[in-house]
A and B are shown apart, each in its own frame.
Chain A
Amino acid sequence: MPAGLNRALLTVAGAAVAVVLAIAICSVAIVVAGGSPFDALAAFFDFGNSARAESNSVATFLNRAVPLFIAGLAVAVGFRMNLFNIGVEGQYRIAAICAAFVGSTFTAPAPIQIGIIILVAAAVGGLYALIPAVMKVTRGVNEVISTIMLNYIAIALSAYLLREPFAGERAEGQLNTTTPPLPESGMFPDLNFVFEWFGMLPPTRNGGLWGFLLVAVALGVVIWVVLERTRFGFTIKASGLNSPAALASGVNPKKMIIAAMVLSGAIAGLIGLPEILGDRGAYTNNFTAGLGFLGIAVALLGRNKPVGIAFAALLFAFLDRAQGALQFADIPASVVTIIQGAIVLLVVVANEVTNRVALRIEERRAAQQLGRNTPVEVAA
């Protein structure tokens, strides 16, 4: 068996075992809480009992996966070179409100309008990530600390922007604060026609299946190409694996830190756009928060690779979707959070175990090819 395939199989098996163990742990929690684990499992697969409910559930599931996937990508770009960008949370919120506001100030044909909104979001996210990057290369400030602090600033700043300078008209008797609405041309077309291909009703949930899904897929492909097939991606990986060696072979570490942080922040800037362009048409105080932190878990689970992150985002979205269904089955929805936490922990453990096992197998294979029958014992 080729070593690469062996390794991939091991990884998948490790992840599967982790998921099953997480479900087992959660089953215990459910039993303790007085519920039935089988009802809970059924709830995860219960997408509703009418064609309309099913379509809405599928759309909800996929719509949730899109921002999680983008968040995972943003975190992974930093992780690839050992940069812990915990600031994705702040970067995407500040980017989302700026993009929503800029998008509401003018009207242009849809491709231009949406293009500018996306560019503004990426630019704001990238610039906000530039701050910790510059602090790190000029003063050696640890990016974990600085990005966490910048998160607080971003959250408070976006709350202020929403109330004062960027506030839009509010309907009589409504207490939600919002930026001015985007023009019609700023709304990303939906993908509801896909449901008809499968003989399903188009979802009625507002916004249906968000068209931004396509942007996310394209982004995933581009990031994969950049990380795996370009010199830039190689230097990122090299700096992450062994920065002194990378330095010795002519990589400028400061330049790489700035490039990786800004790229990570620019991707982070897009996290809020599916929701704004697909559904709300504005940044409101109901804007989904916390995706940046979930992105860290998704990236860990996906092992910092775009395909893995896609699966991780789908898994998290699948679990999140069941929040309502679980409550219909009289099971507390916090079960979802327990499963998600347990999966992330167990996958990290499983990764470590599979790494070691793969190493052993590889050593053994190499030893055999060298004509010796006994493997060389190597301390792990």
Chain B
Amino acid sequence: MLGKRFNRMALGSVAGVMLMAAAACGGGDGGGTTASQEPTGASSEAPKDALKVGLAFDVGGRGDKSFNDAAYTGLEKAKTDLGAEIKELSPSADGSNRGDLLRQLADAGYNPIIGVGFAYGEDIKKTAEEYPDIQFAVVDSASNAPNVTGLLFAEEQGSYLAGVAAATKSESGHVGFVGGVESDLIKKFEAGFVAGVKSVKADAKIDITYLTPDGDFSGFKAPDKGKVAAEKMYQDGADIVYHASGDSGLGVFQAAAAAKKKAIGVDSDQRQTVKESDLQSVIMTSMLKRVDVGVFEFVKAFQGGAKGGSNVTYDLKVDGVGLSTTGGEIDDIKDKLDAAKQDIVDGKITVPAKP
């Protein structure tokens, strides 16, 4: 009895499968042709004003309210100001398809193409060699091919100012630093922050925690881990915690709100990008890393005919890094911050890039 019933059921489902497959093929064909008509038309000697900018995010992707979103802001500006057609792709959670995203953008006729994050350094070199006619840019990594522009940032200089602000504002003389992944990039943030704090209070206590070891990029999208790390610091007596951990920073802000203490954001002006209003108020300031400026200026230079093979460094001198003032919490120490900034710009202070 049951066997017969099952056979009938199986027959029905097999028929269903075939129907779905047929539908899928039909859909596939339709989608395929429309997709293939567009880019071939555009890529075959496109008119000069058809600017197609491709951008591949780092792990965490769109919506981290920090590093990747800063890059997207620059891309959007290229769309509105320069009339560029834009496409942005996020990598898989394990980051294994970074190179393939770059190739897919290149194959779809995008030029220039921007890789966001130092992890693209290796993949962008290989892709740039495979597509010598396309211009590439990579954020946080140096140029390593004739058609690659390196967009570098002096994070340690901005972090130094964050350290000065934290040490000046701290009442307990105890501050914290939460790094996303223990990579050399994030260590630049740590080194600058520590130097900045020590310049104000030589005996200040600084707690330093990294969420994941190098090679495990999950530390940039683990708000739970960020929260635990920051909670510990606040319990131990820290009253200001600076985070350089991408999406995980949300957890740091939550911990700050719960402990009624302060936090310092990173990359974007997080007092504006974070949506929750109770979290906004704990963000004393943010260390701005103007990835948006870097991305936009690169696209603009490309339009002007610039070629790669060199690096562009965004430091305090060109306001490529700095502190945000939204909320006005650091307005009272503006003089002190400006003095520190001037000393760095003048070369009186050299901020270490390694802890």
Point out residues on A near B: beta carbons under 8 Å: 10, 13, 16-17, 20, 23, 38-39, 41-46, 48-50, 52-53, 56, 60, 64, 155-156, 158-160, 162-163, 171-178, 204-206, 280, 284-291, 320-321, 323-325, 327-329, 333, 336-337, 357, 360-361, 364, 375
Check A39–B142 contact: CB distance below 8 A. Answer: no
Q: In the complex, A361 Cα to B6 Cα: how many Å?
A: 10
Per-residue contact bits, chain B 73-115, to A (CB 8 Å; 1 contact, 0 not): 0000000000000011111111111111101100110000000
Whether a CB of chain A sits under 8 angstroms from the CB of B183 is yes
Check A56–B107 contact: CB distance below 8 A. Answer: yes
Q: Which residues of B contact A287 (CB under 8 A)?
A: 215
28 A-B pairs in the complex with CB atoms less than 8 angstroms apart? A10-B10, A39-B27, A41-B23, A41-B28, A42-B24, A45-B28, A46-B31, A46-B35, A56-B107, A155-B215, A156-B213, A159-B214, A173-B311, A174-B118, A174-B141, A175-B184, A205-B99, A205-B100, A206-B130, A285-B119, A287-B215, A288-B96, A324-B89, A324-B97, A324-B104, A328-B108, A357-B2, A375-B1
Q: Write the nearest CB–CB distance from B213 to chain A, whole angstroms.
A: 3
Q: Write the nearest CB–CB distance from B215 to chain A, whole angstroms.
A: 4
Q: Which residues of B contact A337 (CB under 8 A)?
A: 93
Check B94–A288 contact: CB distance below 8 A. Answer: yes
5 smallest beta-carbon distances between A and B, as pairs = A173-B142, A42-B31, A159-B213, A49-B36, A45-B28
> Given A42-B27, A286-B119, A329-B31, are A49 and B40 also a contact pair (CB < 8 Å)?
yes
Check B122–A41 contact: CB distance below 8 A. Answer: no
Check B28–A46 contact: CB distance below 8 A. Answer: yes
> Given A205-B130, A328-B104, are A286 and B3 also a contact pair (CB < 8 Å)?
no
Check B183–A290 contact: CB distance below 8 A. Answer: no
> Given A20-B17, A328-B87, are A177 and B184 also a contact pair (CB < 8 Å)?
yes
> Given A285-B183, A286-B122, are A172 and B213 also a contact pair (CB < 8 Å)?
no
> Given A159-B182, A360-B2, are A290 and B94 also a contact pair (CB < 8 Å)?
yes
Do most interface residues of chain A lie in helix, strand or loop, or is the interface mixed? helix
Q: Which residues of A contact B182 (CB under 8 A)?
A: 159
> Given A285-B215, A289-B216, A361-B3, are A53 and B107 also a contact pair (CB < 8 Å)?
yes
Q: Which residues of B contact A13 (CB under 8 A)?
A: 10, 13-14
Check A48–B104 contact: CB distance below 8 A. Answer: yes
Q: Write the nearest CB–CB distance from A231 to chain B, whole angstroms.
A: 36
Whether a CB of chain A sits under 8 angstroms from the CB of B20 is yes
Check A286–B213 contact: CB distance below 8 A. Answer: no
12 more contacts with CB within 8 A, not counting A173-B152, A174-B144, A375-B1, are A49-B35, A159-B214, A172-B142, A174-B118, A176-B122, A205-B103, A284-B122, A287-B215, A288-B96, A324-B100, A325-B104, A327-B88
Check A160–B142 contact: CB distance below 8 A. Answer: no
Q: Which residues of B contact A38 (CB under 8 A)?
A: 23, 27, 31
Check A42–B142 contact: CB distance below 8 A. Answer: no
> Given A39-B31, A42-B27, A205-B100, are A280 and B107 also a contact pair (CB < 8 Å)?
no
CB-based nearest B residue for A293: B94
Q: Write the nearest CB–CB distance from A349 to chain B, whole angstroms.
A: 14
Check B214–A162 contact: CB distance below 8 A. Answer: yes
Whether a CB of chain A sits under 8 angstroms from the CB of B185 is yes
Whether a CB of chain A sits under 8 angstroms from the CB of B126 is yes
Q: In the complex, A60 Cα to B103 Cα: how many Å?
A: 11
Whether a CB of chain A sits under 8 angstroms from the CB of B328 is no
Q: In the complex, A50 Cα to B131 Cα: how many Å?
A: 14
Q: Write the nearest CB–CB distance from A205 to chain B, whole angstroms.
A: 6
Whether a CB of chain A sits under 8 angstroms from the CB of B39 is yes
Q: Write the nearest CB–CB distance from A18 to chain B, whole angstroms.
A: 10
Do most interface residues of chain B lie in helix, strand or loop, or is the interface mixed? helix
Q: In the complex, A327 Cα to B56 Cα: how many Å?
A: 11
Check A327–B100 contact: CB distance below 8 A. Answer: no
Q: Which residues of A contact B60 (CB under 8 A)?
A: none
Q: Which residues of B contact A159 (CB under 8 A)?
A: 182, 213-216
> Given A10-B10, A16-B17, A288-B96, are A53 and B31 also a contact pair (CB < 8 Å)?
no
Which residues 25-47 of B have a CB within 8 angstroms of A?
25, 27-28, 30-32, 35-36, 39-40
CB-based nearest B residue for A93: B215
Q: Which one of B2, B16, B32, B118 contacts A46 once the chains associate, using CB atoms below 8 Å?
A: B32
Q: Which residues of B contact A52 (CB under 8 A)?
A: 107
Q: In the complex, A360 Cα to B2 Cα: how many Å?
A: 8
> Given A60-B100, A324-B97, are A333 and B90 also a contact pair (CB < 8 Å)?
yes
Q: In the complex, A288 Cα to B25 Cα: how many Å?
A: 32
Whether a CB of chain A sits under 8 angstroms from the CB of B140 is yes
Which residues 301-321 of B have a CB within 8 angstroms of A?
311
Check B3–A364 contact: CB distance below 8 A. Answer: yes
Q: Which residues of B contact A50 (CB under 8 A)?
A: 40, 107
> Given A20-B16, A204-B130, A289-B216, are A41 and B119 also a contact pair (CB < 8 Å)?
no
Q: Which residues of B contact A324 (CB under 8 A)?
A: 89, 97, 100-101, 104
Whether a CB of chain A sits under 8 angstroms from the CB of B294 is no
CB-based nearest B residue for A357: B6
Whether a CB of chain A sits under 8 angstroms from the CB of B121 is yes
Check A173–B141 contact: CB distance below 8 A. Answer: yes
CB-based nearest A residue for B38: A49
Per-residue contact bits, chain B 181-225, to A (CB 8 Å; 1 contact, 0 not): 011110000000000000000000000000001111100000000
Q: Write the nearest CB–CB distance from B280 to chain A, whole angstroms.
A: 27
